[in-house]
Structure 1
Amino acid sequence: MIELKNIKKSFNGRPILNDINLTINDGEILAIVGPSGAGKTTLLRALAGLGDIDSGEILLDGQPFDPRSSDLKNNVIGVVFQDYNLFPNLTVWENVTLAPKMVLKMAAAELETKIKPILAQLQLAGKDALYPFELSGGMKQRVAIARALAMQPKVLAYDEPTSALDPSMRTEVANLLLDLKKDGVTQIVVTHDIELANNIADKIFTVNAIS
């Protein structure tokens, strides 16, 4: 369980997050919604250790937690970015296994036993040798999710998972996230897509712009 208590963040004297209080329970899907500029992505980056906060407290399972000091080997929150950030010169397999190999020091046999099931779960079996330019937007997203899951995070977070996809793929995205929930994956979804949020979320948290 992750708890946020009285989180505040400003940029150049302009408040973005003001006294954010939020609980993310294990195994649930939390959707963070709100208008552009309200601080959704800022909140996500703070949770993932990619940005700092001015004040407040983050707790992990009841203990103080600083995402910025979290060792990659003890990955807590994995992030699937809006543009996926896949390495164009690496295959699907190489993109997904690079961090586990370099950071977690997984040997070839362990990569086979731990990563192959993730690819199968995300309908990527048999796509190992393809390069990003050979994949559809939906497939690139699945590879990005597989890469995040390969690091065995406690929480998986998404920044606008439907923004780069055709509207017809929203149902596919929703089903994917719900399938991961069945496997016990705790998920945070930052989205403008209210329909997606309503379809998948156990809890919706609205971030409002501060005037």
Structure 2
Amino acid sequence: MLEVKDATISVSGQILIQDLSLIAPDGEITCITGPEGSGKTAFLRTLMGFLPVDKGFVTVDGELLTVKSAPAFRQFMCYLPQNIDMLRNQLYPAEATEANPDEYGVWNTVLPSAEKTDEIKPLLPEEIYKLTHQIIQEAEDKPILIADEPALHLSPELAMETLQLIQQQAAQGKCVLIASRNPQFVAYANRVIDLNKFKL
């Protein structure tokens, strides 16, 4: 279970989210939604401990998550990044080079501390779905799934198949938290948090 209490989150001095509280229980899908630029990705990065809260706190199963303690918690998380193309070397190991970003670089890519990475060849929708399936399968033992816009660049059919994959994870008792504007994902979530309600 993930819990956020009275959290205020800012990036480069700009407050994106103010006084947000939520509980994302095990066995359910919690969807964070809102327009582009509303802070969805920043919020996920806070849950993964890359971005501190200005106020409030985040806990995982009752244990306080901070930037310092986060590496231990991330071992129990499966992450599907919005820029999943950066993980194409997992789909095509033969293409892997030293320039491929490591897990930290992928998870933390939009933050100032992220290392620069070479331009990566985009994946086709079918490849994105295949890679999503592979990442989820390889993280069967991880109790938390966090996904950032998992339907981005997918056809409606593949988006629905991806949703079914995510629903299966929740049905297994995992804590599932997604950021999405996709109507299918919003409609099928157990609970929806609209970040527009947590602005100044």
Q: TM-score normalized by structure 2?
A: 0.73
Cα distance in 1, alignment partners of residues 68 and 49 from structure 2: 4
Quote the residue 2:144 is aligned against: 155
Pick closer, same or farther for the CA change 1:74–1:163 going to 2, 3 Å. Answer: closer
> 1:39 deviation in Å?
0.8
Q: Is the CA contact 1:70–1:76 (under 8 Å) kept in the aligned structure 2? A: no
CA-atom RMSD in angstroms? 2.8
Quote the residue 1:11 is aligned against: 11
> 1:189 deviation in Å?
0.9
> 1:210 deviation in Å?
3.1
Quote the residue 1:204 is aligned against: 192
Pick closer, same or farther for the CA change 1:166–1:68 going to 2, 3 Å. Answer: farther
Q: Is the CA contact 1:32–1:204 (under 8 Å) kept in the aligned structure 2? A: yes
Matched residue type, 2:165: L
Quote the residue 1:69 is aligned against: 69
Quote the residue 1:86 is aligned against: 87
Pick closer, same or farther for the CA change 1:51–1:12 going to 2, 3 Å. Answer: closer
Q: Is the CA contact 2:32–2:193 (under 8 Å) kept in the aligned structure 1? A: yes
> Could you tell me which of 176, 180, 195 is aligned with 1:191?
180
Pick closer, same or farther for the CA change 1:68–1:79 going to 2, 3 Å. Answer: farther
The answer to whether the aligner puts 1:178 opposite 2:167 as a matched pair is: yes
Cα distance in 1, alignment partners of residues 57 and 46 from structure 2: 11
Cα distance in 2, alignment partners of residues 12 and 82 from structure 1: 21
Q: Is the CA contact 2:17–2:39 (under 8 Å) kept in the aligned structure 1? A: yes
Cα distance in 2, alignment partners of residues 143 and 74 from structure 1: 18
Question: What is the number of residues matched between the two proteins?
Answer: 171
- Specify the structure having the higher radius of gyration (Cα): 1
Q: Is the CA contact 2:26–2:170 (under 8 Å) kept in the aligned structure 1? A: no
Pick closer, same or farther for the CA change 1:58–1:164 going to 2, 3 Å. Answer: same
Q: Is the CA contact 2:31–2:192 (under 8 Å) kept in the aligned structure 1? A: yes
Q: Is the CA contact 1:47–1:67 (under 8 Å) kept in the aligned structure 2? A: no
Matched residue type, 1:82: Q
State the identity as a percent. Answer: 25
> 1:47 deviation in Å?
0.2
> 1:15 deviation in Å?
1.2
Quote the residue 1:60 is aligned against: 60
Cα distance in 1, alignment partners of residues 40 and 123 from structure 2: 30
The answer to whether the aligner puts 1:142 opposite 2:143 as a matched pair is: no
> 1:74 deviation in Å?
6.5
The answer to whether the aligner puts 1:47 opposite 2:47 as a matched pair is: yes
Cα distance in 1, alignment partners of residues 7 and 185 from structure 2: 26
Pick closer, same or farther for the CA change 1:133–1:56 going to 2, 3 Å. Answer: closer
Q: Is the CA contact 1:82–1:164 (under 8 Å) kept in the aligned structure 2? A: no
Q: Is the CA contact 2:7–2:56 (under 8 Å) kept in the aligned structure 1? A: yes
Q: Unaligned regions of 5+ residues in structure 2, if any?
A: 95-101, 104-121
Q: Unaligned regions of 5+ residues in structure 1, if any?
A: 92-97, 100-131
Q: List per-residue Cα deviations over 1:41-97 (Å, max 9, x = no partner).
A: 111010012222222111222332325423458723321112223252516xxxxxx
